[in-house]
Structure 1
């Protein structure tokens, strides 16, 4: 945590007088997230970080490393792999895990399909199929706290959720039964079989995330930056061709200069036309946007007004 005091920048009081210290906006968000990680370490026995290699989970892991440095992060990592993830993101995930000597548990949707425990959807989407592998992984490893990179600005169902969000013995979420969180006091109490989802980035926005990436020089998969890519149009989004089922007849691939604001299952994550090939250019682009990344590029959130909330009630993260 960076503290500024004396007569240096950021130390001025309300009328410009020196005195005490004041955290910058990003320092305050970082301090809050570090506090949350340490609270989890103190309250829970077997916490796990959901880590996909995307920007939010990469920032979250960066914060966890800061929270416990110079000691190792006392949490495992888990990724629910749909089998249709972007290869660039999986490669980044594996590099980060190897670099920091972390333990990664992968819950693969394909294994559940092969065993007959899940069935492919007619629309080819696998994001909704992640709930069963996620809950199975939590139960099998006896994780009692699951840290995710969800933010309140992403989607209205996520805006309802507390930082510490209780899940019942079936992994389900009741939005009407949430606990108050006054003055950053978090309640991690849970009964046997229950667990708590924890969201250290709840108060961050997409712009905050990118400004922090710029400040901390955090490495991300290259597809977050503008690049030439073969894509095709479906339901108003540019999707990448792949074995997941695209393109279909009449969907003509073309090469465009695009980037991804969010990365998930290739079957439902769209690219946006962009020339933003640096962190600074991405920040400028986001500052001018009036759509969240999920609202602009995630087909699975468009199935109904309550699509995300319905999935979260069932155990989705």
Structure 2
């Protein structure tokens, strides 16, 4: 009897998968118009994979939403569109470039568009009447995200107030919200970067190629290797070099740095991540270095 129980005991990844699937089903049963934020980055890819599992053999019962900064990596946009077509999903795109073109937003002096995503995101949520928005944030990424609950209440302006966070004992989630408010939902909240990569390996999930080591022209700025582009890099004195790199996280090209790496397979990436002492955002995201509270300040304005 004990042997049979041992054979059927769930491992760590099984536990995480079961929790995430439970969250997806809770939201589908409790909310009227959920939507899943999907950029083509690894966390959103894993989140979508879990959503497909949660509702199989039925289709995923909600749309995908991407806030396109206009400075995205082409490999990621191509992957995004191929995935949407393969799964037969509906994609809503909120374009930062549209807001710049009509004057609702202005370019920043540093060329970074990540902080400009908040207004298009909130407008898309309002226009789509989405009452629950799935995001791929994890508590291990950054200290402001470590404060977040799985169900994160946002007010009528999309703002996050840590004082309004609700207890989530025994995996009981409170989705109550007033008209005009919505809830951000984080199915990967308890996962780590290493968990995500181990799950990608186990499930044989395909990712955009830039997550693995490749040759790319980059330049050095603020301790990071950035890709040249129309966003304003490199500046005078910044030398473009050819390096073998990969990306640990994916965002706006102007603030997402690559790391030098020879990890060309998922197994090699797992070994590399396991030996790292820097979080992926801390190592490769310039927008999180603006201040000690950069992420928390943006979340209070409505950012994820």
Please state if 1:298 is matched with 2:294.
no
The equivalent residue for 1:199 is 186
84, 87, 93: which one aligns with 1:97:
84
Q: Deviations over 1:231-290 (max 9, x none)?
A: 000111000011111111111100000000001000000000000000000000000001
Q: Distance in 2 between matches of 1:312 and 1:175?
A: 10
The equivalent residue for 1:41 is 28
85, 92, 112: which one aligns with 2:72:
85
The gaps in structure 1 that reach 5 residues or longer are 13-17
SS at match of 1:196: strand
| More helix per residue | 2
The gaps in structure 2 that reach 5 residues or longer are none
Please state if 1:68 is matched with 2:55.
yes
SS at match of 1:254: strand
Please state if 1:141 is matched with 2:128.
yes
How far did 1:177 drift? Answer: 1.4
The equivalent residue for 1:280 is 267
The equivalent residue for 1:113 is 100
Matches for 1:139-218 after TM superposition, within 5 Å: 139-218=126-205
Q: Distance in 2 between matches of 1:189 and 1:103?
A: 26
Please state if 1:316 is matched with 2:299.
no
Q: Distance in 1 between matches of 2:303 and 2:246?
A: 26
Q: Distance in 1 between matches of 2:136 and 2:11?
A: 22
3, 24, 41: which one aligns with 1:7:
3
SS at match of 1:7: helix
| Structural RMSD (CA) | 1.0
Q: Distance in 2 between matches of 1:58 and 1:275?
A: 23
How far did 1:176 drift? Answer: 1.3
SS at match of 1:286: helix
The equivalent residue for 1:15 is none
The equivalent residue for 1:128 is 115
204, 209, 227: which one aligns with 1:222:
209
TM-score of the superposition, structure 1-length normalised? 0.95
Q: Distance in 2 between matches of 1:62 and 1:177?
A: 30
Q: Distance in 1 between matches of 2:3 and 2:38?
A: 41
The equivalent residue for 1:263 is 250
How far did 1:6 drift? Answer: 6.6
